[in-house]
């Protein structure tokens, strides 16, 4: 397994590519492996490159793909696109089909990506193996709001558009990331379309992820951050009332961006989770 002393700096063979799927250009990073395909779907302002350090830990045991969700990174962007969770879920399934991923892949979704993965599961029809949901926003109709203010995220995006992302991230009250990851974040933040972020935030509150959860019959593991309040204990209880087979675990001492705040502990837990899924 390659060394990971330089977090955020690719140290294992990887390639980037584009594919036309669901009628748009989708960009992805591929970290080849011998085992089952894994597709990572990042969060609301996380281009694929920010998950390099995770994917290289999972390969070569798994064949890892990290997707740039539409409106982020090098995937298609613009006012002509629908940025809703339904369109993003169709993108994901079209991506899996276009690349011919076999056997059925495990989908890992973080935050917004977890909501996309859940919606995609309703479209899967046997084309996905299982889901790993990382701290999905549990806001929705009649529920408490998502605890990360949209205004704060938009302020960071606008700073990035001005070329001031590094300074804005340093001044942020959020938990700091390792320096190499923070530099990547500052470099790539401006690739996130503000319209995509706004629509995703609206969907956090207007779409019901619990209904999507109940409709899915795929095996699901929920990994929650110990801090940040995105997934409360009551939310986990509610999920289990709809999916009694749900496996849930908390990664204590870290917040919503657990993959950046505690990379070693996070990657260890995620690797163990994927091994368990692959055996089932």
Q: At what angle do helices 112-121 and 194-206 cross, to 10 degrees?
A: 60
What are the structural domains, with CATH classification, of the chain?
15-279 (3.40.50.1820)
Asked whether 153 and 72 are in contact (CB, 8 A), the reply is no
What percent of the chain stands above pLDDT 70?
95
d(Cα 52, Cα 270) in Å, to the nearest integer?
A: 14
Per-residue pLDDT of 18-66, as tens digits, reads 999 999 999 999 999 999 999 999 999 999 999 999 999 999 899 999 9
Kindly write down the DSSP assignment for every residue of 118-163, as one continuous string: HHHHTT-TT---EEEEES-----TTSPPPSS-HHHHHHHHHHHHTT
Model confidence at 163: pLDDT above 80:
yes
What is the model's pLDDT at position 11?
Answer: 45
Model confidence at 125: pLDDT above 90:
no
Model confidence at 129: pLDDT above 70:
yes
Neighbours of 102 (CB within 10 A): 11
Q: Mean pLDDT across the chain, nearest whole number?
A: 93
Model confidence at 4: pLDDT above 60:
no
Q: List C-alpha distances in Å: 259 to 53, 88, 232.
A: 9, 22, 19
Tokens of 130: 């299982």
What is the model's pLDDT at position 13?
Answer: 61
Sorting pLDDT into bands at 50, 70 and 90, what band is 239?
very high
Q: pTM for this one? A: 0.94
What is the model's pLDDT at position 249?
Answer: 98
Per-residue pLDDT of 185-213, as tens digits, reads 999 999 999 999 999 999 999 999 999 99
Only one residue has tokens 């593991």, namely 221
Who's near 47: CB < 8 A, 6+ residues apart? 68, 72, 73, 74, 188, 191, 192
What is the model's pLDDT at position 124?
Answer: 82
Model confidence at 132: pLDDT above 50:
yes
Model confidence at 7: pLDDT above 70:
no
Model confidence at 6: pLDDT above 50:
no
Model confidence at 2: pLDDT above 50:
no
Kindly write down the DSSP assignment for every residue of 75-94, as one continuous string: S--STTS--SHHHHHHHHHH
The pairing of beta strand 63-67 with beta strand 24-31: antiparallel
């Amino acid at each position: 397994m390659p060394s990971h002393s330089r977090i955020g700096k690719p140290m294992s063979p990887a390639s980037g590519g584009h594919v036309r799927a669901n009628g748009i250009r989708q960009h992805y990073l591929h970290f080849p492996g011998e085992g089952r395909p894994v597709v990572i779907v990042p969060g609301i302002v996380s281009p694929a490159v920010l998950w390099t350090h995770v994917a290289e830990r999972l390969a070569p045991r798994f064949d890892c793909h990290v997707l740039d969700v539409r409106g982020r990174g090098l995937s298609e962007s613009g006012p002509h696109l629908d940025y809703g969770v339904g369109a993003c879920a169709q993108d994901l399934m079209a991506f899996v089909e276009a690349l011919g991923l076999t056997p059925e892949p495990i989908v890992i979704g973080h935050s917004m990506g977890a909501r996309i993965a859940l919606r995609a599961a309703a479209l899967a029809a046997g084309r996905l193996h299982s889901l790993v949901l990382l701290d999905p926003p549990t806001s929705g109709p009649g529920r408490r709001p998502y605890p990360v203010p949209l205004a704060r995220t938009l302020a960071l995006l606008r700073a990035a558009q001005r070329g001031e992302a590094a300074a804005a991230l340093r001044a942020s009250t959020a938990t700091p990331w390792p320096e190499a990851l923070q530099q990547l974040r500052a470099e790539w933040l401006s690739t996130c379309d503000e319209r995509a972020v706004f629509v995703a935030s609206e969907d956090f509150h207007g779409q019901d992820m619990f209904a999507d959860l109940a409709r899915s019959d795929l095996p699901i593991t929920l990994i929650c951050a110990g801090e940040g309040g995105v997934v409360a204990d009551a939310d986990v209880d509610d999920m289990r009332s709809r999916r009694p087979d749900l496996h849930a675990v908390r990664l204590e001492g870290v917040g919503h961006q657990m993959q950046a705040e505690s990379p070693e502990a996070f990657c260890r837990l995620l690797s163990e989770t994927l091994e368990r899924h692959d055996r089932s």
